[in-house]
Amino acid sequence: MSESGQPSEISPLTILAGQYQVVRPLGAGGMGEVLLARDLLLHRMVALKILRASFAGLPGYAERFRQEARLGARLQHPGIVPIYAFGESEGAPFLVMQYLPGGSLGDRLREDGTTSPELTRAILADLAAALAYAHSEGVVHRDIKPDNILLTGEEDRPRPVLGDFGVAMRPMQDLGPGERRLMFGTPHYMSPEQAAGELDLDGRSDLFALGVLGYQMLTGAVPYDGPSEAAISAARVRQERVPLARAAPDAPPDLVAAIERCLAVDPAGRWPRAAELEA
């Protein structure tokens, strides 16, 4: 979740659920915001992700938060942000997560533009390991993007930690009779099948997004762009982009080939499993 022009709905020093004292906003999006808070019972800093009041009463949105809490409680991996608890304050649900002070990969790219081939390779390998674990648990993230990747560790070799599983789904599960799945995600990072509204996404959709991420880290630009979601989708289907070898001529050929394979329009042309990309 990136910075937003929307003001925070919760003032500093506000205490939520009798336990979490708000310190300051960390970021915001259209539907919610992330706050730095002090856990008054356990004496630690945490990040709170809270749904905006205007969305809390709409059908499906609160359930997405509950789903994210359930997934976070189940997914235990060093490359995935742990969720500590789920709560509500005046009808608005919130998640309590580990606070990682190193910022996001999005922050780093906005500041530096690109990352070195060595760091790009290391971050992609770490993310592939986290995704391999999530996929083995039957979970497809569906919203891999720089702002959903937090950084921890040393400045010259940060370790990525994947967060924001609010869009994630277990393929063809968690749907009741008559329900239909809404298309959530971020247009620049969506696989062609996700952008087309396909329901039964598998891990290869996440690998396409990982390829977009790798392309952006090396070049400073996403491979497919346009003034609208429809224009982005059309460029992606027609493969109207600069080949990575030309956009990043100094990148190692094997890294370029690995990222290009992630970006195959046909899922069958991508890496079949994240574990193979990790290797």
pLDDT in tens, 123-171: 999 999 999 999 999 899 999 999 999 999 988 899 999 988 766 655 4
Residues noted as catalytic:
143
| Helix residue ranges per DSSP H, the chain | 53-56, 61-74, 105-112, 117-136, 192-195, 203-219, 229-237, 244-247, 253-262, 274-278
Q: Residue 182 has what pLDDT?
A: 44
Nearest Cα to Cα of residue 145 among 210, 202, 56? 210
The residues spanned by each domain of the chain are 15-98, 105-278
Distance CA 64, CA 188 (A): 22
The confidence band for 184, taking pLDDT boundaries of 50, 70 and 90, is low
Domain formed by 15-98, architecture: 2-Layer Sandwich (3.30)
pLDDT in tens, 74-131: 899 999 999 899 988 888 889 999 999 999 999 999 999 999 999 999 999 999 999 9
- Give the number of other CB atoms < 10 A from CB of residue 161: 25
Distance CA 231, CA 234 (A): 5
Is residue 142 within 8 Å of 167, Cβ to Cβ?
A: yes
Distance CA 1, CA 33 (A): 8
Q: Report whether pLDDT(51) > 70.
A: yes
Averaged pLDDT, 228-247:
92
Q: Report whether pLDDT(214) > 70.
A: yes
Query: What pTM was computed for the model?
Result: 0.87
Angle, helices 117-136/203-219, rounded to nearest 10 degrees? 170
More confident residue, 8 or 264: 264
Best CATH choice for the domain 105-278 from the list 3.40.50.720, 1.10.510.10, 3.90.870.10, 1.20.1740.10? 1.10.510.10
Is residue 96 within 8 Å of 22, Cβ to Cβ?
A: no
DSSP secondary structure letters along 66-94: HHHHHHHHH---TTB--EEEEEEETTEEE
